[in-house]
Amino acid sequence: MGIESSCDETAVAIVSNDKKILSNIILTQLEEHMPYGGVVPEIAARSHIDHLNRLVRRALSEAKIGFDDISAIAVTSGPGLIGGVMVGLMTAKAMAYARGLPLISVNHLEGHALSIRLTEEISFPYLLLLVSGGHCQLLVVKGVGDYERLGTTIDDAAGEAFDKTAKILGLGYPGGPAVEKAAAQGDPNRFKFPRPLKGKPGSNFSFSGLKTAVLRARDQLSAEQDGKLKRQDICDLAASFQKALTDAILDRVQNAMDYYLENYQNKNKMLVIAGGVAANSSIKEQLEGLCDKRGFELKAPPMNLCTDNGAMIAWVGVEKFEGQQFSGLDTGAVARWPLDPDATPAIGAGAKA
């Protein structure tokens, strides 16, 4: 059983060791946070408390099994919004203790990183682009618990940039899908927005300057038009933003590919993308083009496993169960838990990277 509660999804799933997803229940708190235009940690934690027990029961009944058929409880114990993480972890501990089951503490990022192995036969190592609302990283996935981080964001995550841009353009929350939809009707070349860090060595990301550029362009346009923005202006701003962000990501991925080829010779030439932003078809298309050019294969888990879910946590549970990597009941919730502890923390990288 896998439990996820680190952000605004309460999720419980049951996955077998032969890669069958027996149940995968995801309850999103979207509507509860909508009036605030973003996730409110206290509301998220309280909502996890309200729903988690019921979702555990539902996950068992949908899988048509009982507690006696469960071999271990895997749970996200970080990184994430600490109140929510604590709710999931305490619930998992209580069940593990009451049922005498092993507890497996899971890094949320590792859930994203390994989920592709749940749906496909992929061996280590591979290159991973993790792009979500809270994270934006490039990593070499070398094994379970074994990562080399090539880059992370020095300010906003890619999904966060989409969400903030949506807010600036009055497109609502969550911003990613709304910006993508508006962008499809816009001119991506109308505004020349910056491509942060493009051309610089390394694979770090930066998106806050881009967001500010969108804000300035909006204000200037609105001042020129008596405070009014036309629908076409909004679509053009969205399209130009999405193009700049995609260009910046592509540049960073190219550097990561160079590094990977140089340092991991004769290994899988594979780029895996995960996280909510992987839903963006324009970004995916561009990455597909880059992969073709560089002889890499692009892989992405199905959409419901790209965004936050319990199955990816249960799957890490399966992988760790094989190595008997169990955790004690004294395991604590952590807000910050890098996958590669040797990587230098990026300046201003927020609390989670």
CA dihedral 58, 64, 67, 69 (to 10 degrees): -150
By CB under 6 A, residue 84 contacts ligand KG4:
no
Which distant-in-sequence residues (6+ apart) come within 8 Å of 194 by Cβ?
A: 209, 210, 213, 244
Q: In angstroms, give the least distance from the CB of 264 to ligand KG4.
A: 26
* Greatest distance between any 2 Cα atoms in the chain: 68
Among residues 276, 310, 317, 338, the one that binds ligand KG4 under rule CB under 6 A:
276
Taken in order 342, 344, 346, 349, the sign of the CA dihedral is positive
* Helices 231-263, 175-183: inter-axial angle, 10-degree rounding: 110
Residue 76 binds ligand KG4, judged by CB under 6 A: no
Q: Which of 279, 312, 349, 353 binds ligand KG4 (CB under 6 A)?
A: 279
Do 311 and 115 touch, CB atoms closer than 8 A?
yes
Per-residue interface string for the shown chain with ligand KG4, residues 166-195, x marking contact by CB under 6 A? --------xxxx--x---------------
Q: Which is nearer to ligand KG4, 106 or 279 (CB)?
A: 279
Smallest CA-to-CA distance from 257 within 197, 199, 203 is with 203
* Closest separation in Å from C-beta 177 to ligand KG4: 5
Shortest reach from residue 293's CB to ligand KG4, in Å? 23
Part in contact with ligand KG4 (CB under 6 A); list of ranges 13-21, 49-57, 130-138, 332-340:
130-138
User: Which of Zn ion, ligand KG4, none does 79 bind, CB closer than 5 to 8 A by kind?
Assistant: none
**Tokens for 135?**
């994270």
Which of 67-97 are b and which e, b meaning 16 or more Cβ less than 10 Å from the residue's Cβ?
Answer: eeebebbbbbbbbbbbbbbbbbbebbbebbe
Which of Zn ion, ligand KG4, none does residue 180 bind (CB under 5 to 8 Å by kind)?
A: ligand KG4
Separation of alpha carbons 79 and 106, rounded Å: 9
Of 217 and 316, CB closest to Zn ion: 316
Write the interaction track for ligand KG4 spanning residues 294-313; mark x where CB under 6 A is met and - where it is not.
-------------xx-----
Verify binding: residue 159, ligand KG4, rule CB under 6 A.
Answer: yes
